[in-house]
A = this chain, B = another copy of it.
Amino acid sequence: MTLAQSAPGPGGTSTTAPRTSRSTTADVRQNMLELLRQRPPRTSLEAPLYTDPAMFSLDIEGIFTTQWLFATTEAEIPDPGDYVTVDFGPVSLIIVRGDDGQINAMHNVCRHRGARVLTDRHGSTARLTCAYHSWTYATDGTLIHASSPGETFDRTCFALRRVHTRSVCGLIFVCAAAEPPTDIDDLEDTVKPYLAGFDIASAKVATRIDLMEEGNWKLTMENNRECYHCGGHPELACSLFATWGLTEDTVPPELSADWDRSLVADATLQQRCDRYGLPWQIVEHLTDRDVGYRISREALDKAGESFSVTGQRLSQKLMGDLPDFRLGRTSLHVQPNAWFHGLSDHVITFAAFPVSAERTLVRTTWLVAEDAVAGEDYDVDELTYVWRHTNAQDADFVQLAQQGVSSPGYVPGPYMRSEDQVEAFVTWYTAHMVDHLAGAESRRQS
């Protein structure tokens, strides 16, 4: 019976993959599969993959209800009842700290007649009550009250539909698949030595900013994955070495001084890290697994402490139990929708939330030390200065790209030498979508 099919038992943790709500024809699936399979290496995607609403729906199906996605941090939901809501296209999820302190995630859809349950972006509530007919759920999704139930009505069949969650050093990932990819274990094993010291779970949220980018989510991600465009980021360029993403072979002559300076800074940083027993090596698994990632610790220019115009710290309190302000930036890229920068004085998380084929919400969250005091230890405007401007510039770039690829005059173009991570992102995306589409096809045929 439909109603019971997807219902977890009492206190159950069973989860189910959501179904796409619009029929996409076999034609579109086949077309998408061909476009993906025929992509030449190091070449941007064919236009429909950035523009077609039906292919966007397949992205939601094949990536955003199948893979692990970064959603929020433990810092944002410290206490029982604290919640955050996030939307991946049409999928709305609640991430809530349970009464038992565990992190729960569930579809933000009432099991009665489907109303959205929570409408705020974040908040705190002892119970999740649907505004329509007051069905009331516990923080683990269990239905605890529905008025006028019939005699045969079984409350246990109508818990909110759960999705999987996983906190990796305080970064909360969610997955709506029935059987989530297991290599998230590997992500955790690898990044823990880099991130544990920041103590993200106990951090304080300084502020969050949502920015709507007028482009496909993949253009947002491609934009994030290279610094070939960083000439367009004057504020960021103050503390970021201009040679990011380049190698000895590919550094252009005009950047050789920057190159040398960055070598010195990195060597110094590495010695310092070694002294503190902190890892700094680049570990990169962007394409060879489900939870693709890259982590590294790299030096910053100038004062070398933080993402400020002077390179100096923006908050006077060290994050977690970090031993030093001069630890550069610890940068983590995770497929498909997130990136992070850990500075000694603050941590910034970035998440891309697809809205439609041509629109993506980028949510940036600034975390500071648990005991940092606004106005005393840090100033929110200063703290956010560089990335507010950088994000706005990136939104412009993404919009230009979306406009251009929407033209029949667009042909896929080449990824240049400093765009390796763009290629890695597109490779990861292509492989996972091909798997999904081909798998669905073979399931249909058998």
Knowing A19-B408, A406-B21, say if A44 contacts B113 (CB, 8 Å). yes
Any B CB within 8 A of the CB of A401: yes
Knowing A2-B411, A43-B2, A116-B403, say if A131 contacts B51 (CB, 8 Å). no
Indicate which residue in B52, B150, B404, B409 contacts A417 across the interface (CB closer than 8 Å): B150
Q: Could you tell me the distance in whole angstroms from the C-beta of A284 to the nearest C-beta in chain B? A: 20
Q: In whole angstroms, how far apart are the Cα atoms of A1 and B252 in the complex?
A: 28
Among A110-137, those with CB < 8 Å from B are 110-117, 119, 130-134
Contacts of A110 in B (CB 8 A): 404, 413
Cross-chain contact A18 with B408 (CB below 8 angstroms): yes
Indicate which residue in B92, B228, B396 contacts A148 across the interface (CB closer than 8 Å): B228
Indicate which residue in B25, B119, B147, B246 contacts A400 across the interface (CB closer than 8 Å): B119
Q: Could you tell me the distance in whole angstroms from the C-beta of A401 to the nearest C-beta in chain B? A: 5
Q: In whole angstroms, how far apart are the Cα atoms of A409 and B250 in the complex?
A: 47
Q: Could you tell me the distance in whole angstroms from the C-beta of A375 to the nearest C-beta in chain B? A: 37
Contacts of A228 in B (CB 8 A): 133, 147-148
Cross-chain contact B113 with A401 (CB below 8 angstroms): yes
Cross-chain contact A43 with B411 (CB below 8 angstroms): no
Cross-chain contact A22 with B52 (CB below 8 angstroms): yes
Cross-chain contact A416 with B146 (CB below 8 angstroms): yes
Any B CB within 8 A of the CB of A60: yes
Cross-chain contact B250 with A148 (CB below 8 angstroms): yes
What per-residue 1/0 map shows which CB atoms of A416-427 lie under 8 Å from chain B?
Answer: 111000000000
Cβ-closest chain B residue relative to A35: B23
Cross-chain contact A116 with B404 (CB below 8 angstroms): yes
Cβ-closest chain B residue relative to A93: B409
Indicate which residue in B90, B147, B231, B403 contacts A406 across the interface (CB closer than 8 Å): B90
Indicate which residue in B2, B25, B115, B229 contacts A133 across the interface (CB closer than 8 Å): B229
Q: In whole angstroms, how far apart are the Cα atoms of A60 and B19 in the complex?
A: 26
Cross-chain contact A92 with B413 (CB below 8 angstroms): no
Q: In whole angstroms, how far apart are the Cα atoms of A246 and B396 in the complex?
A: 53
Cross-chain contact B90 with A20 (CB below 8 angstroms): no
Cross-chain contact B107 with A407 (CB below 8 angstroms): yes
Cross-chain contact B409 with A107 (CB below 8 angstroms): yes
Indicate which residue in B6, B92, B404 contacts A407 across the interface (CB closer than 8 Å): B92
Cross-chain contact A21 with B407 (CB below 8 angstroms): yes
Cβ-closest chain B residue relative to A226: B133
Cross-chain contact B417 with A131 (CB below 8 angstroms): no
Contacts of A5 in B (CB 8 A): 411
Known: A112-B413, A115-B397. 17 other contacts (CB 8 A): A21-B408, A22-B51, A90-B406, A107-B409, A109-B407, A111-B411, A111-B413, A113-B413, A115-B401, A115-B404, A116-B400, A130-B400, A132-B397, A132-B400, A147-B252, A161-B409, A161-B411
23 intermolecular pairs with C-beta atoms under 8 Å apart: A21-B47, A22-B51, A23-B28, A65-B408, A90-B408, A91-B409, A92-B407, A107-B407, A109-B404, A110-B404, A111-B413, A112-B413, A113-B401, A114-B404, A115-B401, A116-B400, A116-B407, A130-B400, A131-B396, A146-B416, A149-B417, A153-B414, A161-B409
